[in-house]
Structure 1
Amino acid sequence: MSSPVVVGYDGSPEAQEALRWAAQEAGRTHRPLRLVHVGLGQGGAQSLSDGVERARTVAPGVEVTSALDLGASIAGALVDQSTGAHLLVVGARGLGGFAGLLLGSVSTAVAAHSRCPVVVVRHRPGPSVVPEARPVVVGVDGSMTSLRAVDLAFDQAAQRRAPLRAVHAWQLPVRLGSAPVWTGSEIEQQLATEKALLAESLAGHMEQYADVEVLPSVGLGGPAEVVLAASDDAQLLVVGSRGRGGFRGLLLGSVSQAVVHHATCPVVVVHPAEPPAV
């Protein structure tokens, strides 16, 4: 059996949006769907039952199972469920989430510690159908984790028959003291270097996914700022959990945190090859 798409479900509007996304993804990739609720009492079982019915309405042909976890830690239970999963899907906030809190503590912890890629979905009012013409966007910085994000992004773009916008951000180092300012030729040379890094990160994938339209983009500015600006019209944004210069002990880097907090589309956080330490 293929690995399942797992979704955390508590009946909240955010969880319902996450469930819809997960059910559609399971249908598109021909994978089973597993709903997980963490909590005590009859309410959890009823929430799961309602969720299963919702999932079957969204994706009638998908095999749907559910699991009620009575543990005390919601994030810990979902991380456990991520072992062997294809994707773990969570809402940005669940029941009891404060309106001003852009990302709940559970989704933050899950994005940091999951053993598979995590999709964070934010509830948005209005139609839930996303036009296929909208691009999949991936942040690229040349790191190994970024290359894993590129792998997943190409796969998603191919499945969705969507263009792929590959975004790389760069900044000129600040010259202090009496050092001369950057000359025009130096800036052009640095830009050429950054474009080459992006091209190298995409080269093998463009041959493998010849049908995917690739839109390379190199932007001057902070990585989070550049990636968020490029994803305004995206149907999906893919980032690595941490990139170049990221400290090994930092499970979720500053760029991925900012992107997950502020993106207006679902965000996939891809981890390094080794499982994050819990």
Structure 2
Amino acid sequence: MTERAQASPLDRRPKTEAELRDRIAACPISGSAQQMRRAFATLAGPQPHLSEITRGGRRCLVVGEGPEIVWFHGGGYVFGAPETHATLATALAAHGLRVVLPDYRLAPEDPWPAMLEDAHAVLSDSGPVVAGGDSAGGHLALVAAQTGADLKGLALVSPNTDRSGASQTRGRESDAMNDDASDAALARQAMPDRSGKDPAASPLLGELAGLPPVHLEAVGAEILLDDSLLLARAMALADCEVSLHVTPGLMHMHTLWPDCLPEGAASLARIAAFERRQSGAAQAG
């Protein structure tokens, strides 16, 4: 008699933080770019199916109705896709937003500035909107704003902002999702000809004055915590409007699992409220 196949825990969404941590441990993101992409898709878990549109010549997934936010997915510019962030986008859309997830080019096949060119193409075809992103996607939204994108605001979750050495949290071992060596290896693939002092790699060192209002979300245990803290301080000193919320503990990219982590859902709720404020302010103006 053939034994009935046992369903793997990786075939379903985690239901608790403990299950999520087990999933992270079971899905190391390593090997070739293709292997990392498959591992990250497994780690992100099953996702809802979203509609497709074309924006700026790029394929995008879209969900929801209301004020629009263009959200750039994270993944170190090597892995991740609109499909891995569909749960995040759906959770944002539930707050009365239209969420657009661009499918931008990835390294090592297409290193920087290919992804920035794609971001500008999408944003220039969107009209003034709020742009956001997590991790590398937050970096992408920020650099797009620094290089001329016309935006109402920036909503950034744990963006990479500093590779110059100013950060004091990159060497920590408390982040279940990320470590400094892996993060640096991804940067070498994405930006092989850029030093950590280049504003493209470290937008903390770029022009901050004149940026639209920025809302930052970070978590206390991640290696990129200082990237957000330093950016918030630098923006305040540049007389920019900036808000920052740090949730204790957790791990990098916590907003990928809002159905599992109440704190991730709360981060997205704050981002949605920020988006509505910026869209409302723009309409009133």
Q: Same fold (TM over 0.5)?
A: no
- Mark the structure with the bigger radius of gyration: 1
**What is the TM-score normalised by the length of structure 2?**
0.28
**What is the TM-score normalised by the length of structure 1?**
0.28
